Structure 1
């Protein structure tokens, strides 16, 4: 796509994982757009692309916004890896989201329907990437990227394609840093975007109770969730807070107004904690 067709990916977006209720989604998306969010992040496996499409068709004109005003990201399901499935599934995603193009489409997982140790994953990754590259050339995708890719997966991709991912969306928070991956992405001009900035649901309490996190949140006079988002945002790492609470949607957006000093960033970046709380791509060959 020509540069004029691309727009900068916002640094903060509305996460929609596990949000199946269309009523709740509409409340969250409407509140988010009113607050200033312009990125909506979904995925084929979330099962809510159709709801989001209907909501945007209704809400955008009511708020005086157009499709070009927002940035939509979706992700290719591991079960749709490979040329034919990747291509047809993306077309279906476009239909569900009621749009002619996606601003960003990510390969959600380096694996597929095969076992993690199956060499066939390499073949399917390559086929998926080539299919997404073709869809980008057709104008159906403005940018393509990956999610949960390790350095080894990115190096492999670089070995067969001159199209590098625009984004790598991965787990990132003060108890799981991925410093080497972050460094690699920056060196290769791959934008680093965090999910689970507040920890996965089954780990959130431990992260929130970290005494250093609590101390620093108090120092900046913000809630722990806003501090955790600001901690990543201050490193120029994109964040995707997810909540069904409208007041939290508004509160979370305040993270963009807070600058965490490098000294305070480093306290949590080099705290010797490395707890993976979501699915682990390191096992995928």
Structure 2
């Protein structure tokens, strides 16, 4: 199928999924839109859908849910797909955390995204003193059918265990910074033991990983870019991954990873690049304190943000 008058070729491999612990199927490779304006998010999401992407990841904090919603609508129109063909992830904003405020936030989320339900809703950050109540509200939204699955983001082992001690529903996902130089081995091991799928944000690891000589050597051997090798490494390790790009050509290139396979030795060579440098220093965040008060966070704002974030 060639949508939009032949502008894009659909990559059917992007429909491949991982089975989550609640039975929902989630695409293995998707598009992230952090640090993307509404206009760019609309263009990127629409193009990605037309190329075959089925997983779209955003958040209220990114300030572009409105653009993502417009991109979803345009992408569906151009491809003839239905809403059920997509898997849309967003996240509970730090400033909305708490039981009632999380429940109240869902209408604004759905309005901005122009959707009637969310496929995956995540706790964006474990705000101390609030994330348990936030989770209880998300469980209610899940049972009410407002969301198909609920999960967490940026939870270390201590906070995951605390959440599981209080949860009635086990998270399906923990979305963490995960790349060749930051492999979160303790978090990954805990998730695997608990039946929680790990999902990678910042999977390409920036310039240090993309310019790593070991990864470059592997890329040269396969005639691929270092970014493609890293994405392939994620997939072969069973990690769901959402590389971010606002460039249409790069979105297409990031998906061109299903025609080659890394050897066991190549996977192990990348595994050995882990520097285990903690990057999520919770005490550095203003919202991190014992009583849960005084946390601060801001929604990214853009010149093209036509949205009321009071909702």
**TM above 0.5:** yes
TM-score range normalised by the length of the shorter chain: 0.7 to 0.9
1:95 to 108, 111, 125: 111
TM (norm. structure 1) is 0.88
Report the Cα distance in structure 1 between the residues aligned to 2:198 and 2:207, rounded to whole angstroms. 25
How much has 1:55 moved relative to structure 2? Answer: 2.5
Could you tell me which runs of 5 or more consecutive residues in structure 1 were left unpaired when the two chains were aligned.
Answer: 112-120
Q: Which residue of 2 aligns with 1:74?
A: 90
Q: Which runs of 4+ in 1 moved over 6 A?
A: none
SS in 1 for 2:140: helix
Q: Which residue of 1 aligns with 2:26?
A: 9
Report the Cα distance in structure 2 between the residues aligned to 1:147 and 1:161, rounded to whole angstroms. 15
Q: Which residue of 2 aligns with 1:117?
A: none
Q: Is the 8 A contact 2:47 2:75 kept in 1?
A: no
Report the Cα distance in structure 1 between the residues aligned to 2:258 and 2:203, rounded to whole angstroms. 14
Q: Which residue of 2 aligns with 1:55?
A: 71
Per-residue deviation, residues 186-218 of structure 1 (Å, max 9, x unmatched): 11110110011111xxxx222222111111111
**Cα separation, partners in 2 of 1:184 and 1:258, compared to 1, 3 Å:** farther
Q: Which residue of 1 aligns with 2:144?
A: 138
Q: Which residue of 1 aligns with 2:122?
A: 106
Report the Cα distance in structure 2 between the residues aligned to 1:19 and 1:161, rounded to whole angstroms. 33
Q: Which residue of 1 aligns with 2:60?
A: 44
SS in 1 for 2:148: coil
How much has 1:87 moved relative to structure 2? Answer: 1.1
Kindly indicate which of the two structures has a greater share of residues assigned to helix.
1
Per-residue deviation, residues 57-112 of structure 1 (Å, max 9, x unmatched): 2331221111101000001111111012111112210111111110000001112x
Matched, 1:184 2:200: no
Q: Is the 8 A contact 1:6 1:142 kept in 2?
A: no
How much has 1:158 moved relative to structure 2? Answer: 1.1
**Cα separation, partners in 2 of 1:262 and 1:67, compared to 1, 3 Å:** same
1:248 to 242, 247, 250: 250
SS in 1 for 2:258: helix
How much has 1:223 moved relative to structure 2? Answer: 0.4
1:257 to 255, 259, 272: 259
Could you tell me which runs of 5 or more consecutive residues in structure 2 were left unpaired when the two chains were aligned.
Answer: 1-19, 291-311
Q: Which residue of 1 aligns with 2:305?
A: none
The number of residue pairs the alignment matches comes to 266
SS in 2 for 1:213: helix
